[in-house]
Amino acid sequence: MGSQNTPPAPAENISVLRKARRISRAALARQAGLTVSQLSKVETGLRPATPSLIAAVADALGVSTSRIYGQPYADASHQARALDALRAAVRRHDLPREDVLPPAALATKVQKAIGLRAQTRYLDLLDMLPEALGQATAVALSAPGEAGAWAQVADLYGCAYGVAHRMGQADLADMVVSRQMWAAQQTWAPDLEAAAAWNLAGTYQTAGQYDDGLAIVERAISQYERSLRGTANTPAQLISLGSLHLRGVVLASRHRDANATADHVSKAKSMAEQLPTDALVHNLTFGPGNTALYELAAYVELDRPHDAVRMATPLLKAPPPGLRPTRLGRLAIDTARAQLAVRKYEDAEKALAQAFAIAPEMTQTHPMAREVVRVLFVLNQRARPALLDMARRVGLAT
């Protein structure tokens, strides 16, 4: 599997960190609330490391979850330079060096960035973000009180969060979210503040701090509902509030809270029924289709893979309209996880192939996709050419 030239998968990092600390498998299992058999199967490649397990092990080892998730790129030289440029742009958030762009040119650039994020083209997005952030901020600072200009800054920071999160840069994601909130607060727009809160909760989700993330979501929902002074009626309002409930679905299911999960699913469904199709606003996708995808993912996290497979079959055959590659790719990854859990290995491989076809960059770096590939590769599947190709693409084989 992982070698000096290929980045290790999360489960491999667990084994390396445990041995480096001279902790026995039994001791780590006990501290993480796992059985020795569970941990053994994860470390030896017979079972994938789930987000909840990674969070528990990270806490027991006294490391961040990002240490376990690792860096998914085998050759990170170009990405490292581009990430350094993004870090510099985020650091000097109120000292842009770029010129003020004409409004139309800036609007075009912002829409391009949003499109790249939705298409999961993270490397192209990373390359354009430092300059775009500086230009958008220069425009906003040149027009004090102009909410529309600050909205563009906030949306670009939302794109930057997607890049930082997907590339395993937890510290950068934290810094980006603080800048997104700063920009959103200049707009006095509840929708933009909700989008920033959605990403803030995401940083807690990545860190495995699911209870704190849920607290962030509940606070954001309360604040947004107060701003409405009634109920959500417009598409933008439904998307903002519904998206917060979807974030709650993920956090609650990974926190193993079935009741809270069901509550967030129910509220999201109620709002999604008022929309004809899924739509994208401020980098948030919401509607009937995405709500179904989050419900499916919750079944996977709550160890109900048969329910997830039941939902996945019609969704993969006829994907909901309005969903971008970033969401459809995640649907295929969650389907692969569910198929693996019910031991339908060929179906898991097929779902992964769909994920690569729909969203190759996201699938290449997604830790759960890499875990499914790792387990399939170990389970006497090495002779399958398509699987070997996927293992190479995610950096788990040479």
Altogether, the residues listed in the chain come to a count of 398
| Mutual angle of helices 367-378 and 345-358, in 10-degree steps | 140
Q: If pLDDT is split at 50, 70 and 90, which confidence band does 2 have? A: very low
Element (H, E) at 363: helix 360-365
CA distance linking residue 23 with residue 88, whole number of Å: 39
Question: Does the pLDDT value for residue 7 go beyond 90?
Answer: no
Secondary structure tally for the chain: helices H, strands E: 21, 2
Cβ of 270: how many Cβ atoms within 10 Å? 14
Average pLDDT, the chain: 92
CATH of domain 10-68: 1.10.260.40
For residue 248, give the nearest of 237, 238, 235, 259 by alpha carbon. Answer: 259
What is the Rg, in whole angstroms, of the alpha carbon atoms belonging to the chain?
21
Whether 194 and 240 have beta carbons less than 8 Å apart is answered as yes
CA distance linking residue 284 with residue 259, whole number of Å: 25
Question: Rounded mean pLDDT of 323-340?
Answer: 96
Question: Rounded mean pLDDT of 57-72?
Answer: 89
CA distance linking residue 246 with residue 248, whole number of Å: 5
| Per-residue model confidence (pLDDT) at position 3 | 43
SS3 of residue 94 by DSSP: coil
Q: What is the DSSP letter of 101?
A: P
pLDDT digits (tens, 9 = 90+) for 78-102: 788 999 999 999 999 999 999 999 9
pLDDT digits (tens, 9 = 90+) for 15-30: 999 999 999 999 999 9
CA distance linking residue 133 with residue 45, whole number of Å: 42
Q: If pLDDT is split at 50, 70 and 90, which confidence band does 397 have? A: confident
SS3 of residue 279 by DSSP: strand
Q: Please enumerate in sequence order all residues whose Cβ is within 8 A of that of 15, keeping only pairs 6 or more positions apart, or say none.
A: 43
Q: What percent of the chain has pLDDT over 70?
A: 95
For residue 370, give the nearest of 4, 5, 81, 13 by alpha carbon. Answer: 13
Q: Please enumerate in sequence order all residues whose Cβ is within 8 A of that of 153, keeping only pairs 6 or more positions apart, or say none.
A: 133, 136, 137, 140, 183, 186
For residue 245, give the nearest of 222, 278, 212 by alpha carbon. Answer: 222
Question: Does the pLDDT value for residue 6 go beyond 80?
Answer: no
Whether 35 and 2 have beta carbons less than 8 Å apart is answered as no
Question: Rounded mean pLDDT of 255-275?
Answer: 97
| Per-residue model confidence (pLDDT) at position 231 | 84
Region of 359 on the Ramachandran plot (φ > 0 left; ψ -120 to 50 alpha; else beta): beta
CA distance linking residue 105 with residue 289, whole number of Å: 33
Question: Does the pLDDT value for residue 341 go beyond 60?
Answer: yes
- Domain ranges, ordered by start, for the chain: 10-68, 76-172
Question: Does the pLDDT value for residue 339 go beyond 90?
Answer: yes
Whether 55 and 33 have beta carbons less than 8 Å apart is answered as no
Listed ranges 233-237, 257-261, 323-327; the one with the highest mean pLDDT: 257-261
The residue that leads in pLDDT, 76 or 390, is 390
Secondary structure of 127-180 in HEC code, one letter for each residue: HHHHHHHHHHHHHHHHCCCCHHHHHHHHHHHHHHHHHHHHCCCHHHHHHHHHHH
| Per-residue model confidence (pLDDT) at position 4 | 42
Question: Does the pLDDT value for residue 220 go beyond 70?
Answer: yes
Q: If pLDDT is split at 50, 70 and 90, which confidence band does 380 have? A: low
Question: Does the pLDDT value for residue 155 go beyond 50?
Answer: yes
Question: Does the pLDDT value for residue 144 go beyond 90?
Answer: no
Q: What percent of the chain has pLDDT over 90?
A: 82
Question: Does the pLDDT value for residue 260 go beyond 80?
Answer: yes
| Per-residue model confidence (pLDDT) at position 382 | 58
